[in-house]
């Protein structure tokens, strides 16, 4: 009784405060009344120091309205609810796995009359969860040991599973489960300041999201790739040097083999979090990145500068032509309307195949390259996800290999088989009809820049210009760079038998940067050279029907025309039946569609870089 009387003033205020607000029928205000019966189950000292002390008994036991009847034993056993005071927590708990399992508030908050602020001590949270869960190796993990040592940055149970809105992971499908796990890990590991403070690699999230696994995750297809827990585990996450770790060298192959059944030791040497910006730890990746970045900068600076100079000089030339025509100083060539064949049907068909294949590869590959963009997610969803886009990408890759093989056969036929071309194969290789660069191209480049700068006349070209030859040879370079790296990434298990694992990181950098170079060049430089330059705008159509007028031939390929005249070949190439209207309409429509689509993709790429 002495203990009860000691807390009489406090309980008088608390119970009295509640009784004033609650309608009571014969409810006594004397605080001694509750403790006379309940002092065995309720510790007055613990209750007075708890968070619930300010609420008082009738704050939770709201059904108690007749004290005399309660004392006499006339009462129903009521179910106390925490909802009135803890609505946000109750809403979260209502949709949780605990709610479905019948676990209520008091199952975790076991001594409800002694509830004290936990002060963020994660050890208390872990201890509470361990009352029901065995932890599955969490106690010995890097997270568990750090929490036990009092590190508030370390991940406790609630950091991953939440306090009240505990997800029912067992009922999640593969996609939802990978999203849940990866998002949970990213939440903490994306905080570079916290990672540095705890001596943890600060860029693991960045390197993960830059990988194929991470890009697929961001594009909404995590079910087809490995997430964080697939490699690191869920609860028993251990240091890499621990023999029990799933990523220890002795177990790494088995971990990879869960997804890649034919994984080898070389395959498992792949840098999962290789950072091309980290020269110290990944020098090969760093030099590859520097080399590819330098290549991109040199190509774009050179050719964009070339295009800008040409654009300005072309506008000036058009104004000069118009002024000369108005003044009667320019006379169109005789029979300038006559058409001549520049490309055969096989050249036209090959070019159409190249266009279709290139757009197929671009539309399925660029979303992966720019996976952090909303437009990339929209495009990827159009294809039905990363898996479908990857299948389409590989189909067009096979088409690319096919037209490359056709180009090789056509080159062989040109050098060794074709009739009507003078000289042996060596003379043909360096002759005017060949696409092999020669010294004349160097002179044409110099003459062209002199014309850009108003220092000389516009050069006259033969059958091929230097930019057309560059476009043709770029296919060969691209096949070795983008095609070779693509094959390595397509069949990593096979290449992993005899190539070191870091080669896959190098292949990833080369493939993505070369793809960026190819798409950026085609949709800007190539489009300008063929369609956008002032003398050709809005489209140079001869690539679709193979026909070029005599006036255009004399203006752009005057040396070729002179050679044909000297050899008496003009009549041989004259077109006596122009292509039909329907044919021109369909192919021009296709050409403009590709032109606008390419410009749209170029704009999206520029948008991704700037924002």
> 172 pLDDT exceeds 50?
yes
pLDDT for the residue 10: 42
Confidence band (pLDDT; 50, 70, 90) for 32? low
570-607 per-residue burial string, b: 16 or more CB within 10 A, e: under 16: beebebeeeeeeeebeebeeebeebbeebeebbebbee
Q: Which residue has the higher pLDDT, 13 or 344?
A: 344
Confidence band (pLDDT; 50, 70, 90) for 176? confident
Burial class (CB in 10 A: 0-12, 13-18, 19+), 567: exposed
> 12 pLDDT exceeds 70?
no
pLDDT for the residue 23: 38
pLDDT for the residue 101: 85
Domain parsing of the chain, residue ranges: 2-71, 85-171, 283-573
Q: What is the Cα 145 distance to its own chain's centre?
A: 34
Q: Which residue has the higher pLDDT, 419 or 75?
A: 419
What's the CATH number of domain 283-573, 1.20.950.20, 3.90.170.10, 3.40.800.20, 3.30.365.10? Answer: 1.20.950.20
Angle of helix 345-369 relative to helix 502-520, nearest 10 degrees, comes to 120
Q: Is the peptide bond before 538 cis (omega within 30 degrees of 0)?
A: yes
pLDDT for the residue 33: 67
* 3-state SS class at 48: helix
Token readout for 13 is: 């205020």
Q: What is the Cα 518 distance to its own chain's centre?
A: 18
Its pTM stands at 0.85
Residues 218/233, Cβ–Cβ less than 8 Å? no
* Own/partner pairs, 478-483, CB within 8 angstroms, 24+ separation: 478/514, 478/518, 479/400, 479/401, 479/404, 481/510, 481/514, 482/510, 482/511, 482/514, 482/515, 482/518, 483/397, 483/400, 483/401, 483/404
Average confidence score pLDDT of the chain: 88
Q: What is the CB neighbour count within 10 angstroms for residue 159?
A: 17
pLDDT tens-digit readout, 446-468: 999 999 999 999 999 999 999 99
> 213 pLDDT exceeds 90?
yes
- The CA radius of gyration of the chain, in Å to the nearest whole number, is 38
pLDDT for the residue 279: 95
pLDDT tens-digit readout, 473-493: 998 888 999 999 999 999 999
What's the mean pLDDT in 519-536? 94
Lowest mean pLDDT among 72-81, 286-295, 488-497, 537-546: 72-81
Q: Which residue has the higher pLDDT, 276 or 49?
A: 276
pLDDT tens-digit readout, 354-394: 999 999 999 999 999 999 999 999 999 999 999 999 999 99
Instruction: Quote the percentage of the chain above a pLDDT of 90.
Output: 63
* Own/partner pairs, 436-445, CB within 8 angstroms, 24+ separation: 436/469, 437/466, 437/469, 437/470, 437/473, 441/466, 441/469
pLDDT for the residue 18: 39
Residues 275/211, Cβ–Cβ less than 8 Å? no
pLDDT for the residue 428: 95
pLDDT tens-digit readout, 390-433: 999 999 999 999 999 999 999 999 999 998 888 999 999 999 99
Instruction: Quote the percentage of the chain above a pLDDT of 70.
Output: 94
pLDDT for the residue 2: 41
The CA-atom distances, in angstroms, between 499 and each of 250, 308, 340, 354, 502 are 19, 44, 52, 31, 8
Q: What is the DSSP string of 457-469?
A: PPPP--SS-HHHH
> 514 pLDDT exceeds 70?
yes
Confidence band (pLDDT; 50, 70, 90) for 15? very low
The number of CA neighbours under 13 Å toward the Cβ of 346 is: 7
Which among 299, 277, 313, 266 has a CA at the least distance from the CA of 454?
313
What's the mean pLDDT in 134-143? 88
Confidence band (pLDDT; 50, 70, 90) for 77? low
The number of CA neighbours under 13 Å toward the Cβ of 110 is: 7
């Amino acid at each position: 009784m002495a203990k009860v009387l000691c807390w009489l003033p406090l309980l008088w205020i608390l119970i009295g405060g509640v009784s004033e607000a609650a309608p009571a029928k014969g409810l006594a205000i004397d605080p001694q009344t509750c403790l006379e019966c309940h002092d065995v189950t309720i510790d007055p000292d613990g209750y007075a120091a708890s968070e619930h002390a300010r609420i008082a008994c009738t704050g939770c036991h709201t059904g108690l309205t007749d004290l005399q009847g309660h004392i006499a034993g006339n009462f129903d056993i009521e179910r106390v609810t925490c909802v009135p005071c803890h609505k946000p927590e109750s809403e979260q708990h209502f949709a949780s796995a605990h709610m479905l399992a019948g676990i209520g508030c008091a199952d975790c908050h076991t001594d409800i009359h002694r509830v004290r602020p936990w002060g963020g001590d994660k050890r208390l949270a872990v201890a509470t969860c361990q009352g029901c869960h065995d932890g599955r190796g969490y106690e010995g993990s890097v997270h568990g040991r750090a929490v036990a040592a009092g590190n508030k940055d370390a991940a406790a149970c609630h950091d991953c599973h939440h306090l009240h809105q505990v997800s029912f992971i067992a009922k999640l499908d593969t996609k939802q489960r990978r999203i849940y796990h990866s998002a949970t890990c990213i939440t903490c590991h994306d905080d570079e300041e916290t990672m540095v403070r705890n001596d943890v690699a600060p860029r693991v999230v960045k390197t993960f999201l830059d990988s194929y696994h991470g890009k697929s995750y961001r594009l909404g297809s995590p079910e087809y790739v490995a997430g964080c827990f697939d490699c690191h585990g869920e609860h028993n996450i251990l240091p890499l040097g621990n023999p029990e770790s799933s990523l220890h060298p002795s177990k790494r192959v088995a971990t990879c083999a869960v997804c890649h059944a034919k994984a080898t030791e070389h395959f498992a040497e792949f840098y999962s979090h290789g950072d091309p910006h980290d020269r110290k730890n990944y020098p090969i990746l760093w030099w590859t990145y520097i080399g590819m970045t330098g290549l991109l900068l040199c190509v774009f600076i050179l050719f964009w500068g070339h295009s800008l100079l040409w654009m300005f000089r072309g506008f000036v030339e058009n104004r000069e032509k118009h002024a000369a025509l108005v003044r009667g100083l320019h006379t169109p060539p005789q029979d300038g309307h006559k058409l001549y064949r520049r490309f055969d049907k096989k050249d036209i068909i090959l070019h159409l195949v190249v266009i279709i294949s290139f757009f197929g590869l671009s539309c399925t590959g660029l979303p992966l390259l720019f996976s952090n963009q909303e437009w990339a997610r929209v495009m990827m969803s159009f294809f039905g996800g990363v898996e479908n886009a990857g299948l389409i990408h590989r189909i067009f890759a096979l088409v690319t290999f096919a037209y490359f093989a056709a180009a090789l056969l056509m080159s062989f036929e040109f050098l060794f088989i074709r009739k009507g071309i003078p000289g042996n194969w060596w003379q043909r290789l360096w002759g005017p009809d060949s696409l092999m660069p020669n010294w004349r191209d160097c002179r044409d480049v110099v003459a062209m820049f002199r014309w850009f700068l108003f220092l000389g006349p516009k050069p006259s070209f033969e059958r091929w210009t230097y930019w057309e030859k560059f476009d043709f040879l770029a296919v060969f370079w691209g096949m070795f760079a983008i095609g070779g790296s693509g094959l390595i990434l397509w069949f990593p298990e096979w290449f992993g038998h005899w190539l070191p694992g870091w080669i896959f990181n190098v292949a990833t950098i080369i493939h993505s940067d070369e793809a960026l170079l190819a798409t950026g060049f085609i949709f800007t430089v190539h489009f300008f050279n063929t369609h956008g330059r002032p003398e050709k705008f809005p489209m140079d159509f001869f690539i679709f029907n193979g026909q070029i007028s005599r006036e255009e031939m004399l203006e752009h390929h005057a040396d070729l025309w002179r050679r044909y005249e000297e050899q008496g070949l003009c009549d041989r190439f004259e077109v006596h039946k122009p292509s039909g209207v329907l044919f021109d309409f369909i192919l021009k429509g296709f050409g403009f569609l590709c032109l606008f689509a390419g410009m749209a993709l170029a704009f999206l790429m520029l948008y991704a870089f700037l924002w």
